[in-house]
Amino acid sequence: MNKWSTKKSVELFKIEKWGQGYFEVNTKGNLCVKPSPDSPYKVDLKRLIDELRSRKVQPPVLIRVMDILKDRLKLLSRSFNDSIKELGYKGKYFPLYPIKVNQQRTVVEAMLKYGQNVGLGLEAGSKAELLLVLALTENINTPIVCNGYKDEEFVELVGMAHKMGKKIIPVIENYSEVETFIRHYKKTGVMPNLGIRLKLFTKGAGQWASTGGESSKFGLRVPEVVNVIDRLAEEDLLNHLKLLHFHIGSQITDIKVVKNALTEASRVFIEMIKLGANLEYIDVGGGLGVDYDGSARETFSTINYTLQEYTNDVVYRIQQVCDQHGVPHPTIFSESGRFLAAHYSLLITNIQTTGGYELKAYTKGQISAESGPLKEMIDLRTGVTEENYLEAYHDAIQYRQEVRNLFNYGYVSLRDLAGSESLFSEIMEKILEVAEEMEETPEELWELQQSQVDTYFANFSLFQSLPDSWAIDQVFPIIPVHQLGQKPTRKAVLVDLTCDSDGKITDYIGDEEDNSFVHLHEVQPGDQYYVGIFMIGAYQETLGELHNLFGDTHSVQIEILGNDKYRLSNFTKGDSVKDVLGYVAYNAKELIGKMRAQIERAVERKKLTLDESAHLMDQYEEGMFGYTYFEE
């Protein structure tokens, strides 16, 4: 067997593919994070978590690498501008950050800071988001695009922002909204520039395909688009219609869908101009995907195109249709929030304990049966070879079932039943060892490969930190952040601390169609073993919920200053038990009082001594103000 190496770990965990150059393994076998793919600087994540623990910051910890946000924004803008230059496009490009992707203050403020030089704008999809965006956009030239449903109050806010001089464009999502804007204009004399969201015939591809196409939630069908144009023209307001917007779904996996959507939207753009609309902008929405998986398999976690291919297609398709009709090239907006935010944050958690599928091996002397299926299993344990491993597989299944039947009829003891299960587990492990040496694993052993796994109990909540893994089976890269110079010998399923049966991760990165385990190292008693969950910057930080009252984890924001040099620019303490109880309307002081009263009654009944009562009360109060996750 060839000696294991860090290079093999990089290949096994697809680090270079999903990591996009932001992560690499150092000579110690520790995973490092970089500010950009071409940077010589990196920070050892194992060292970082050790130093955080020295600062009394216990895992799980969410780590936000702000340098990556800056680099993703630079990559996106540079790619679009390279396409514009190469193709001779006469319009401009400005990125929009849709804050629903991650509304954390540090993220939105960083986007505005890093986006100053590229004309970054913000997209708001609700009244709360609009109020936030209005306050943060102190530069009146920052583009603001407003999606989502708009009532009278929303329209009034937009109108006042327009009057202030802000570059704000509300997008008509359904026909009734145009009447709301017209009423506001007749009342105030203020009409902002408007956009229309087109409901395309083209349907998206991937997990969110239904958010585009004719069945999408928002957008106007072609007859409604024409009606809006006619209605605005009737009020002599058509010159305020400036933008066409469309959205074909988040995380588009297939570039062909992007091309088809762009062709359709560009044709509608031209026809709207022919009807008198003075359009200046086309917003291609979201959909630019990221590769969460790093494999060649076709899932909604992978994409079949590069960033440059995407931007080339966007620019070329719009340019081609405009040139055919002699129409000036519009300014292009895109809302590529997932591309911008996904890579920047990761969660590091520790493994609390493990539960193996292996059972204690029984010897012949420990099993009472001298004949029958139990004896056959004992003999089979030592007789698995390359020539008979499939036959042994079938025989073991048969013998196991026979023992179970005999137990149900009272002919086999509980101890012997336990022995048969242990023997079966050992036989299956030997069969898999032989099968792994074969060029191709027989199809009938695939399910066995997936089932013979250990359970690794991780110190986190799936529902709080990784909701899309539970809700829509989103795959996220999960790998150890150290020991990568050693071969990971265990096949594991990661489960969380909640008591919910759904609190486990069931799909992992890899080349198999159904990859239901992750390769991890054996955890020795007393050792600290750290696992990282990556690419969780998009949506995961704001979608989490309080299942079993596990709250927000600790979070740190780092800026990389040099090789293994970093600055902790922000630290947010995770929720205490008191915090999460407050979220569901409990008062910690009141609960402490109720508990003290019960303890005093127990003392009166001599169920507790005074020392025991004091110790219990200390424990209760300490727990109330402590982290919702396990601490050491």
What are the pLDDT digits (tens) for 345-369? 999 999 988 876 555 555 555 666 6
CB-based contact 1:520 (threshold 8 Å): no
Which two three-digit tokens encode residue 273?
A: 């101009």
Verify that 128 and 42 share a domain, yes or no.
no
What percent of the chain has a predicted confidence (pLDDT) above 90? 73
CATH number for the domain that contains residue 132: 3.20.20.10
Evaluate if residue 122 carries a pLDDT over 50: yes
Look at residue 530 and tell me if it is in a domain: no
Residue at 542 is within a domain:
no
Q: Where among 449, 466, 497 does a domain terminate?
A: 449
Cα–Cα dist 81/94, whole Å: 9
Cα–Cα nearest to 146, from 268, 243, 264, 77: 243
Q: CA 278, CA 276: separation in Å to the nearest integer?
A: 6
Number of domains in the chain: 4
- 557: Cβ–Cβ under 8 A, 6 or more apart, which residues? 64, 66, 106, 568, 569, 570, 571
Question: Which of 405, 432, 449 lies at the terminal end of a domain, its last residue?
Answer: 449
Distance CA 273, CA 241 (A): 10
Identify how many contiguous H helices and E strands the chain contains and give both numbers: 22, 20
Q: pTM of the predicted model, to two decimals? A: 0.89
Give the tens place of pLDDT for each residue, 566-585. Answer: 999 889 999 999 999 999 99
Q: Residues 541, 526: contact at Cβ < 8 Å?
A: no
Whether the predicted pLDDT of 391 surpasses 60: yes
The verdict on residue 477 lying in a domain is: no
pLDDT tens for 275-334 read: 999 999 999 999 999 999 988 677 778 898 999 999 999 999 999 999 999 999 999 999
How confident is the model at residue 415, as a pLDDT? 84
Token readout for 469 is 């893994």
Considering the domain architecture, whether residues 222 and 114 belong to the same structural domain is answered as yes
304 and 205 co-located in one domain = yes
- The token duo for 35 is 């500010």
162 lies in the same domain as 91: yes
Last residue of a domain, one of 417, 449, 481: 449
What mean pLDDT value characterizes the chain? 91
Alpha-carbon distance values, 243 to 161, 194, 386, 592 (Å)? 18, 6, 67, 58
Domain co-membership, 216 together with 249? yes
CB 519 within 8 A of CB 456: no
pLDDT at site 425: 85
Residue 337's CB: how many other CB atoms inside 10 A? Answer: 24
Report the C-alpha gap between 249 and 323 in whole angstroms.
27
Per residue in 375-389, pLDDT tens? 888 888 888 888 889
Cα-based distances in Å from 275 to 227, 233, 278, 279, 510? 11, 10, 9, 11, 51
Report which residue type is found at 86: E
Q: What is the identity of the amino acid at 432?
A: L
Q: Distance (Å, rounded) from C-alpha 386 to C-alpha 367?
A: 28
Query: Looking at the domain assignment, is residue 232 inside a domain?
Result: yes
Ranking 147-161, 248-262, 364-378 by mean pLDDT, the lowest is: 364-378
Rg of the Cα atoms in the chain: 30
The reply to whether 152 and 13 lie within a common domain is no
pLDDT at 211 over 60: no
Within a domain: residue 474? Answer: no
Tracing tokens 């009447």 back to the chain, one arrives at 179
Residues 45 and 71 in one domain: no
Say yes or no: 206 and 76 in one domain: yes
Answer yes or no: are the C-beta atoms of 251 and 300 closer than 8 Å.
Answer: yes
Q: Is there a single domain that holds both residue 397 and residue 283?
A: no
Q: Are residues 94 and 157 in the same domain?
A: yes
Q: Tell me, yes or no, whether 548 lies in a domain.
A: no
* Residue 146 is assigned to a structural domain of this protein: yes
The model's pLDDT over 588-626, given as tens digits with 9 standing for 90+, comes to: 999 999 999 999 999 999 999 999 999 999 999 999 999
Instruction: Tell which wins on pLDDT, 354 or 167.
Output: 167
pLDDT of residue 292: 92
Residue 567 lies in a domain: no
242 vs 390, more confident: 242
Residues 6+ apart with CB under 8 A from 371: none
The predicted pLDDT at position 1 comes to 43
Is 167 found in the same domain as 278? yes
CATH number for the domain that contains residue 377: 1.20.58.930
Structural domain including 595 reads: 589-624
- Same domain (yes/no): 10, 76: no
